[in-house]
Amino acid sequence: MQFKNLRAIREDRDLRQREIAQVLNVSQNTYSQYENGVIALTDQILLRLADFYNVSVDYLMDRTDNPLFSK
């Protein structure tokens, strides 16, 4: 499953896949596969991305269009 918000937030912040891959300590190819839904995001990677972008996991997984945390 491809996650449009994951790619969009990276592009909105003018970041390259290589830069995010470095943050996650994975290869650029691995990150590309996450973004394109070729391989599944692990819980750890998903949480690290949410923390990095300061958005909810639901937003990254396209479950909401609201990037803010809801309580």
**Residue 13 or residue 70, greater confidence:** 13
With 0.85 as the threshold, say if the pTM is over it: yes
Backbone angles phi, psi at 5, to 5 degrees: -70, -35
- pLDDT score recorded for residue 47: 95
In the prediction, which pLDDT does 24 show? 96
Q: CATH top-level class for 4-60? A: mainly alpha
Q: What is the CA radius of gyration of the chain?
A: 11
pLDDT in tens, 7-65: 999 999 999 999 999 999 999 999 999 999 999 999 999 999 999 999 999 999 888 88
| pLDDT computed for residue 71 by the predictor | 47
Residue 69 pLDDT > 70 = no
The residues spanned by each domain of the chain are 4-60
Is residue 61 within 8 Å of 46, Cβ to Cβ? yes
